[in-house]
Amino acid sequence: MASENSISPFPLDASIVQRLDSLALLTRRPMASGRPGRRRSPLAGSSMEFSDYRRYAPGDDFRRIDWRAYARLERLFLRVFEAEENLTITVLIDCSDSMHHGKPAKAPLATALAAAISYVALKCEDRVIVGALTDRLAAYRKAGSGKNAIWTVGEFLNRLPHSGTTDLNRALYDLGRIVSGPGLTIVISDFLAPGGYRTGIRAVRQLRQEVALLQILAPDELEPDLQGDWRLRDSEGGENVDVSASPSVLSAYRQRLALFTQEL
């Protein structure tokens, strides 16, 4: 997908973008952002989406009185409508060396996922922030809202940094510099960071963010095609590890990987 006015092409085919037009991002609970948009808010508002009734109180807008209810009950009730707001969706991409491992490599899929999520959010008039995670929050772009902002996202995603190691805890903690108010934060990573990620996720949740974790693993990480003795090199730390790939070792590896994935 490309535009005459864009600096870089959007990293998704037009056929995929067309299929995304029917999708929307949902949160587990309603969030009040205070900005008008299409997403339903827990606050009362003035949209045409009816929500509930409540008793009239002095100072309420008399135009919302339901006179039919008054005729039946001889009490004044107001019609309450749901407010419609937009939400800030923050999409964070792990840019460490381990994301460039595998056949196919994990990084292109992470970029495509970030592009797809951003497109769905923007077409629904949610606000989008995209960020790159290395040993810190290395770069970010506040793309804004609306479909025209997709070219800002595309330019950012096509210029992601490439870092040796990732400190997910520190990088996620840095999110407090750019996020204010409730929102949804989506982290795309293999989560194979030496220091883990849980402390960083807790810090993000303290920012009133709902958090979604999307883990990407390469085929040979899920099912290693190894036999005999190997010297493996850590793609981020650079250390060498000697491994004897026996059936029992591979079985133990799969069990630990399954447990690690379930804990996300």
Residues 101 and 197 in one domain: yes
- Banded pLDDT at 46 (limits 50, 70, 90): very low
Residues 146 and 106 in one domain: yes
Q: Which domain holds residue 141?
A: 14-25+86-220
91 closest CA partner among 178, 186, 207? 186
* Residue bearing the bigger pLDDT, 98 or 81: 98
Contacts 24+ apart (CB under 8 A), 28-32: 28/210, 29/210, 31/85, 31/87, 31/182, 31/183, 31/184, 31/210, 32/83, 32/85, 32/182
In the DSSP assignment, the letter for residue 65 is: B
Q: Kindly state the average pLDDT of the residues 112-135.
A: 95
Predicted confidence (pLDDT) per residue in 61-85, tens digit: 777 788 888 888 888 877 765 544 6
3-state class of 25 per DSSP? Answer: coil
* Residue bearing the bigger pLDDT, 49 or 113: 113
* Residue bearing the bigger pLDDT, 83 or 115: 115
Taking CA atoms, 127 is separated from 37, 38, 182, 257, in Å, by 10, 11, 12, 35
**pTM over 0.85, yes/no:** no
pLDDT computed for residue 25 by the predictor: 85
Q: Does residue 4 belong to any structural domain of this protein?
A: no
Residues 135 and 199 in one domain: yes
Taking CA atoms, 138 is separated from 94, 131, 141, 172, 175, in Å, by 10, 8, 11, 11, 11
Q: Does residue 3 belong to any structural domain of this protein?
A: no
Q: Does residue 56 belong to any structural domain of this protein?
A: yes
pLDDT computed for residue 184 by the predictor: 96
Residues 21 and 147 in one domain: yes
pLDDT computed for residue 262 by the predictor: 95
CATH of the domain at 127: 3.40.50.410
3-state class of 242 per DSSP? Answer: strand
Number of domains in the chain: 3
Predicted confidence (pLDDT) per residue in 187-238, tens digit: 999 999 989 999 999 999 999 999 999 999 999 999 999 999 999 888 877 7
Residues 131 and 102 in one domain: yes
Residues 209 and 96 in one domain: yes
Residues 127 and 173 in one domain: yes
Q: Does residue 207 belong to any structural domain of this protein?
A: yes
Q: Does residue 131 belong to any structural domain of this protein?
A: yes
Predicted confidence (pLDDT) per residue in 143-169, tens digit: 998 888 999 999 999 999 987 788 999
Beta bridge mates, 78: 54, 65
91 closest CA partner among 150, 44, 13? 150
Q: Does residue 130 belong to any structural domain of this protein?
A: yes
The answer to whether residue 256 scores a pLDDT higher than 50 is yes
* Residue bearing the bigger pLDDT, 155 or 1: 155
Contacts (Cβ under 8 Å, ≥6 apart) of 225: none
Residues 136 and 73 in one domain: no
Residues 115 and 168 in one domain: yes
Residues 79 and 97 in one domain: no
Residues 204 and 192 in one domain: yes
Predicted confidence (pLDDT) per residue in 2-14, tens digit: 444 444 578 898 8
pLDDT computed for residue 96 by the predictor: 93
pLDDT computed for residue 194 by the predictor: 87
Q: Does residue 1 belong to any structural domain of this protein?
A: no
Q: Does residue 105 belong to any structural domain of this protein?
A: yes
The answer to whether residue 95 scores a pLDDT higher than 80 is yes
1: its two tokens: 């997908």
Residues 45 and 66 in one domain: yes
Q: How far apart are CA 92 and CA 237, in angstroms?
A: 22
pLDDT computed for residue 198 by the predictor: 97
